[in-house]
Amino acid sequence: MRITTTLLLASLAISGAAQADMYVSRDANGGYVLSNVMRPGRHYERVIREPASVAAAASFTPSSPQMIASAPFAEVVQAAAVANQLPAALLHAVIDNESHYNPKARSPKGAGGLMQLMPETARELGVADVFDPAANIQGGARYLKRLMTLFDNDMALAVAAYNAGPEAVLSRGKVIPPFAETQRYVPNVLRQYRRLQGLAQD
């Protein structure tokens, strides 16, 4: 790790790319990933510290608490987030990508409601009416929490499993499935989650 870190530092110094704290982690395949953000569920080693002057200039972020508080179904989402120990921003990102906050949304595959629960998933979660916003959000949050636990809090994999099903992720060795829809869905959800959290984009 230290040799690789040294090479990365040299590369960054040559390119002049060191404008923020930079971290090294390992991906699911054992490869090294260099990033200026830290994702939940991974171990990071900081290899470059952002200068204080740059950090101060970048300290202003959009008012994410206000964005979340003003979103549709904010109180219900917040309650579900607390009950399931999930970030409210993640639930909002999933809801927006799944249904665009339409509680009556139904997919061609039969998923319904704000978090687009499939009938069998809804039954397993005890959701009698998927078009009831509170029941749908609580059920979807419980399901998402289950996926986060299954994938060791790797948010990208949990979101991929929410879209494609956990077996699609597990059967491929815990990587994001190569389905076009899932390949679009995961970065869209994570991008919105980070925006709502007031975090830099990866």
- Catalytic (active-site) positions: 98
User: What's at 13, amino acid-wise?
Assistant: A
142, 91, 73, 128 alpha-carbon torsion, rounded to 10° = -30
